[in-house]
């Protein structure tokens, strides 16, 4: 094995770990090996090295202390789902919603790309923990990578370093995560998961979701596979606490597809009109929830991450004050516009566009820049991201390091629908809620490659992230519901309904608290609702509109349930459920049938 000569070598007597690293070194052939110990000293040295190599740009340290800037390749700015695979022995264990490859083929194809790809480079060894180090519910991973950008992001997003190795001991279990930048070629890019081997191989990309392997790869795809076997849940969900003046805090979790508002909701600012009610918001998670049934028969949720990898465009002091307060220091900006004064700019931010700068592609940019076809060019990519410590968020929960997490009162599903789904509705019961989640659709965003705006089926916002057959995943949801003594109530929300001119009918952001209030009142049985074929919808007067005026008829439109349109949607539900054949739990067909009866009544 090549030695770590960085001066940061960590004591490791885990034979299995050392043997694995040795094998990966022989395949990738790095010149050097360096263990990441989590120290500030090492981090600063790596920043300097990356800056010298041009891998990152150190931003204006007066205005943005501790902040860095990075550009990915032009065709590497979002998750590449078509190149993401679940490699199980049998195709049916990956299921009809995942790309599948046999493990043999996966190791062989990716192995060819990895082979010798780290020549002249350093392989970094990142020991990380998803969840508090030492918690029985946490999972340890070791990521090998040849990218300092990945190291610096992992240092923000996860708990990293010596403490993790100490806990792993000489024979602890860990997820083997291998990432190689290779030549960032989309034709030589593969994001592979081997759930049966507890292994992830990602090659040919430098974009967040593809390369920060603790995030979507481990905490969702591998974790969901493990969770089904161990009886817990790994979900693409935010977790938010709403505290009332009497000190009572209710926690809500929710699954919205990528770039559909989880981060924003998780740190919302109460709107002016509701200020006197004295709410205080607590952010537990903005992207991932690990949930389990505790001894009290309730559902408890934790955030396995400690950082936020958030969408930049649209973030400003009005839409998301707390995010703005979070990203002023120690933040990595990826694919925004770089200003000449060493700060950053993006569309939908607070500042007017700078008279000139360098865009996310590295090209000179000024307002009004168009491409060869006359189409306006964005300064920041629509999926440009910030990486920031969650601890810097003013609303960060005081329970982040507590292994049990928080007790969940309500679960939200939601997404972007210009028409059809109302602002909010409540499912009749848990199995109906599972049906609502299993059949949800949302407009595609820039968070993955593909046509933006197209309506896409995204059950529980997990279509890109479920590590096994989704028919079994739905079965698991149903089974968790049966085991719970205190089932959270399940709701569906839509902040994105539009009028005839394509304008949003609902102002969203902080105003969403008005809907959250109704949700909590429903959970406590404090308010009546209108029963419709899709579920319970609010009576308009039950949403507190103090200080907010909507145009005439907007609220009626927002709460409308169009039976004809839902009958069309009902046919789409059948089509998506049919994909699973016999493997789909009977209960979902029963729910489907009942839904049809209600629509035809
Ligand atoms: P991922 O990190 O991709 O999983 O996304 P997310 O679900 O955390 O999405 P995020 O909160 O970052 O929001 C994505 C985009 O939607 C941003 O541009 C936001 O400004 C915008 N957005 C969020 N909430 C609202 C809302 O309530 N109304 C409107 N109109 N836009 C919103
Ligand atoms: C998402 O796309 O859902 C994200 C960003 O949260 S990434 O980590 O890149 O997947
Ligand atoms: Mn996400």
pLDDT tens digits along 539-578: 999 999 999 999 999 999 999 999 999 999 999 999 999 9
CA distance 220 to 177: 14
Q: What is the mean pLDDT of residues 512-520?
A: 98
**Paired strand residues for 298:** 486
Q: Is the Cβ–Cβ distance between 391 and 232 less than 8 Å? A: no
Please tell me the predicted confidence (pLDDT) of residue 12. 85
Per-residue pLDDT, averaged over 40-57, amounts to 98
> Taking the CA atoms of the chain, what radius of gyration do you get in angstroms?
24
What's the rounded mean pLDDT across residues 45-52?
98
Q: Counting ligands in written order, which one lies closest to the CA of residue 288?
A: 3
Tell me the best of 213, 219, 309, 386 to mutate to test the pocket of ligand 2, counting ligand atoms within 8 Å of each CB and taking the most.
309
Which of the ligands is closest to the CA of residue 256?
1
Mean of the pLDDT values across residues 63-76?
97
Are residues 122 and 31 in contact, defined by beta-carbon separation less than 8 angstroms? yes
CA of 117 to the centre of ligand 2 (A): 26
**Is residue 550 within 8 Å of residue 505, measured between CB atoms?**
yes
Say how far residue 306 (Cα) sits from the centre of its chain.
Answer: 13
Sign of CA dihedral 555, 519, 494, 378: positive
Atom in ligand 2 nearest the alpha carbon of residue 78? 9
The minimum-distance atom of ligand 2 relative to the CA of 210 is 9
577 compared with 448, residue with greater pLDDT: 577
Query: Is the pLDDT assigned to residue 31 strictly greater than 80?
Result: yes
Three-state secondary structure call for residue 442: strand
Residue 591 is classified by DSSP as: H
pTM over 0.85: yes
Strands (E), 162-232: 175-180, 190-194, 199-203
Q: What is the pLDDT of residues 187-211, one digit of tens each?
A: 999 999 999 999 999 999 999 999 9
pLDDT at residue 450 is higher than 90: no
Catalytic residues: 260
**CB-based burial label for 351 (10 Å; 0-12, 13-18, 19+):** exposed
Residues with CB under 6 A from ligand 2: 79, 208-209, 215-216, 258, 287, 309, 447
Helix (H, G, I), strand (E, B) or coil at 252: strand
Mean pLDDT value of segment 213-223: 98
* pLDDT exceeds cutoff 70 at 7: no
Measure the CA–CA gap between 205 and 179, rounded to whole angstroms.
9
Given this model, what pLDDT does residue 453 score? 87
Nearest CA to ligand 2 atom 3: 258
447 alpha carbon to ligand 2 midpoint, in Å? 6
Question: 5 falls in which pLDDT band (50, 70, 90)?
Answer: low
3 has a pLDDT exceeding 80: no
Q: What is the spatial distance between Cα 546 and Cα 319, in angstroms, rounded to a whole number?
A: 19
User: Distance (Å, rounded) from C-alpha 520 to C-alpha 409?
Assistant: 8
Q: Residue 451 above 90 pLDDT?
A: no
Please state the atom number of ligand 1 nearest to the C-alpha of residue 236. Answer: 4
Give the residue among 480, 492, 502 at the shortest CA–CA distance from 423: 492
- Map residue 69 onto helix, strand or coil: strand
Q: Please tell me the distance between residue 573's alpha carbon and the centre of ligand 2 in angstroms.
A: 26
Q: How far apart are CA 507 and CA 504, in angstroms?
A: 7
Mean pLDDT of the chain: 97
The pLDDT of residue 8 is 64
Helix and strand totals (H; E) in the chain: 16, 31
- Nearest ligand 2 atom, CA 212: 8
Q: Domains (ranges, CATH) in the chain?
A: 3-35+81-230 (3.40.449.10), 54-70+307-394 (2.170.8.10), 235-306+400-600 (3.90.228.20)
State whether the beta carbon of 414 lies less than 6 angstroms from ligand 1.
Answer: no
What's the gap in Å between 261 CA and the centre of ligand 1? 3
Q: Is the CB of 447 under 6 A from ligand 1?
A: yes
pLDDT in tens, 154-163: 999 999 999 9
What is the distance between the alpha carbons of residues 584 and 92, in angstroms, rounded to a whole number? 12
Nearest residue by C-alpha to atom 9 in ligand 2:
209
What per-residue confidence (pLDDT) applies to 424?
Answer: 98
Calpha distance 116→179 (Å, rounded): 13
Question: What pLDDT score does 81 carry?
Answer: 95
Report helix, strand or coil for 268.
coil
Q: Above 70 in pLDDT, residue 116? A: yes
Q: How many CB atoms lie within 10 A of CB 373?
A: 5
Mutate to test the pocket of ligand 2, among 70, 234, 285, 447 (most ligand atoms within 8 A of CB): 447
Q: Report the pLDDT value the prediction gives residue 4, as an integer from 0 to 100.
A: 76
531 C-alpha to ligand 1 centroid (Å): 29
């Amino acid at each position: 094995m090549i030695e770590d000569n960085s001066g940061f070598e960590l004591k490791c007597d885990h034979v299995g770990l050392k043997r694995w690293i040795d094998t990966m070194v022989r395949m990738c052939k790095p010149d050097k090996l360096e263990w990441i110990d989590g120290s500030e000293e090492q981090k600063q040295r790596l920043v300097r090295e990356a800056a010298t190599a041009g891998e990152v740009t150190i931003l204006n340290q007066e205005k943005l202390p501790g902040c860095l800037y990075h550009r990915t390749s032009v065709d590497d700015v979002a998750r590449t789902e078509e190149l993401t695979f679940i490699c199980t022995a049998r195709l049916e264990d990956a299921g009809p919603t995942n790309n599948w490859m046999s493990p043999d083929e996966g190791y062989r194809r990716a192995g060819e790309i990895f082979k010798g790809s780290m020549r002249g480079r350093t392989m970094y060894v990142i020991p990380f923990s998803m969840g508090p180090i030492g918690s029985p519910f946490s999972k340890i991973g070791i990521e090998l990578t040849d990218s300092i950008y990945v190291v610096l992001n992992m240092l923000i997003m996860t708990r990293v370093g010596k403490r993790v190795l100490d806990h792993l001991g000489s024979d602890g279990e860990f997820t083997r995560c291998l990432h190689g930048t290779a030549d960032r070629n989309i034709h030589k890019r593969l994001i592979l998961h081997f759930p049966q081997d507890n292994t992830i191989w990602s090659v040919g990309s430098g974009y967040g979701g593809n390369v920060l392997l603790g995030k979507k790869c481990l905490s969702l795809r591998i974790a969901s596979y493990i969770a089904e076997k161990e009886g817990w849940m790994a979900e693409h969900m935010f977790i938010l606490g709403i505290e009332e003046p009497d000190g009572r805090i209710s926690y809500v979790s929710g699954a919205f597809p990528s770039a559909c508002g989880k981060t924003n909701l998780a740190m919302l600012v109460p709107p002016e009109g509701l200020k006197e009610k004295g709410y205080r918001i607590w952010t537990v998670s903005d992207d991932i929830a690990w949930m389990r049934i505790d001894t009290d028969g309730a559902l408890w949720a934790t955030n396995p991450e400690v950082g936020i990898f958030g969408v930049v465009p649209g973030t400003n002091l009005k839409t998301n004050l707390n995010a703005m307060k979070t990203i002023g220091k120690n933040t990595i900006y990826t694919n925004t516009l770089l200003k000449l004064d060493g700060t950053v700019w993006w569309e939908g931010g607070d500042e007017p566009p700078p008279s000139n700068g360098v865009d996310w592609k590295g090209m000179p940019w000024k307002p009004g820049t168009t491409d060869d076809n006359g189409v306006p060019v964005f300064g920041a990519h629509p999926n440009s991201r910030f990486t920031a410590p969650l601890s810097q968020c003013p609303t960060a929960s005081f329970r982040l390091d507590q292994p049990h997490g928080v007790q969940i009162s309500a679960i939200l599903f939601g997404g972007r629908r210009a028409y059809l789904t109302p602002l909010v509705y409540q499912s009749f019961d848990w199995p109906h809620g599972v049906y609502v989640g299993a059949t949800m659709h949302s407009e595609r965003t820039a968070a993955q490659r593909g046509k933006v705006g197209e309506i896409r089926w995204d059950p529980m916002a997990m279509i890109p992230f479920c590590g096994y057959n989704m028919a079994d995943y739905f079965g698991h949801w149903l089974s968790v519901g049966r085991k719970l003594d205190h089932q959270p109530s399940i709701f569906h929300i839509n902040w994105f309904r539009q009028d005839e001119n394509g304008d949003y009918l609902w102002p969203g952001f902080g105003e969403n608290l008005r809907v959250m209030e109704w949700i909590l009142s429903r959970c406590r049985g404090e308010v009546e609702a209108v029963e419709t074929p899709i579920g319970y919808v609010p009576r308009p007067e039950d949403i507190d509109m103090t200080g907010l005026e909507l145009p005439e008829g907007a609220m009626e439109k927002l709460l409308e349930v169009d039976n004809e349109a839902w009958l069309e949607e009902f046919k789409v539900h059948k089509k998506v459920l049919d994909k699973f054949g016999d493997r789909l739990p009977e209960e979902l067909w029963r729910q489907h049938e009942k839904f049809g009866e209600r629509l035809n009544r």
